[in-house]
Amino acid sequence: MSKTKTSAVVAVSVVALSVAVYYWYATEILNVKLHNEDAVPPYAALAPGSKQLTVVKKYMATEDKEDTLRFVVTVDREGIITDILTLDAKTNEIPEKKKSFNEGLTVAIKGKKMSELGPVDKIGTSTYTTDAFNSVIDELKAQL
């Protein structure tokens, strides 16, 4: 076998080995990535030119309990927000607490005459995620 042919066989073997190794480990890496909290799952079909920005944030839900939320903001081609989701980063579902918060109450308020009210001093709470959300606004904007 000539020196050139030997070199070619070695080169082909190295390439084949590299592809096999890459395939093996890439699959492993991708599997891990898909279960990683930083991965972006497919939330919905995006309109042409739209993109989704996502930031995962850990925060202290109570003094001794840490939660992780994923803020997903969809923006159109001009950077205008068209959708916002706040998800539990582990389950990718809307936390129960937020579901009830999102629902709120739509009611007909008839009102009551001021003169019919009892004693009044003057005529004129929040979720746990405030700090977490405020801290990621700049990160979301940086992705625009």
Token duo for residue 10: 């070695």
Candidates 83, 88, 92, 139: give the one binding another protein (CB under 8 A).
83
> Which of 52, 50, 51, 92 lies closest to 70 in space, CA to CA?
92
Quick check: 74 binds another protein (CB under 8 A)? no
For another protein, the closer CB: 41 or 79 = 79
Token duo for residue 84: 């916002």
Candidates 2, 4, 36, 100: give the one binding another protein (CB under 8 A).
100
Whether residue 21 contacts residue 106, with contact meaning beta carbons closer than 8 Å, is answered with no
**What is the distance between the alpha carbons of residues 25 and 31, in angstroms, rounded to a whole number?**
10
Candidates 34, 122, 139, 143: give the one binding another protein (CB under 8 A).
122
Please give the residue ranges that form the binding site for another protein (CB under 8 A).
80-81, 83-84, 86, 98, 100-115, 117-127, 129-130, 133-134, 137, 141
